[in-house]
Amino acid sequence: MKVFLGGTCNKSTWRDDLIHTLEVDYFNPVVDDWTPDCQAEEIRQRETCDFCLYVITPKMTGVYSIAEVVDDSNKRPRKTLFCIIQEDGSDRFSDAQMRSLSQVGKMVEENGAIWLRSLNAVAAYLNE
């Protein structure tokens, strides 16, 4: 089994934290130099991995990962996983941001995908 590790970049350490707990294979799309080949490989991995995980943290600066998880929850609900982390280093989502992201989580669940509430829950689900 293999999981695509999508979501917040921007020097967030959530991937490193999760990778140490995984007992399954994974694809980490974060690279030092983003090229068209890297983008093509990311698209291929999203299609071929057993699960696509999207972890959103307060270090996010864009919203494309939100669009990806909603899109995947519609198109591939059985392989889409979503997780929100309220704190990332010294960054923290506000209560208003958390309410909005929780609504995204509910939408993802209503589409048939899985919303997990912590990295520990993600690891437990994937390692099951």
Average pLDDT by stretches of 10, the chain with 128 residues: 96 96 96 91 95 98 94 97 97 97 98 98 97
Distance CA 4, CA 72 (A): 12
Instruction: Give the pLDDT of residue 116.
Output: 98
Instruction: Give the pLDDT of residue 34.
Output: 86
User: pTM (2 decimals)?
Assistant: 0.95
Instruction: Give the pLDDT of residue 2.
Output: 98
Distance CA 65, CA 109 (A): 16
Give residue 52's domain range.
2-127
CATH number for the domain that contains residue 66: 3.40.50
Instruction: Give the pLDDT of residue 114.
Output: 98
The domain tally of the chain equals 1
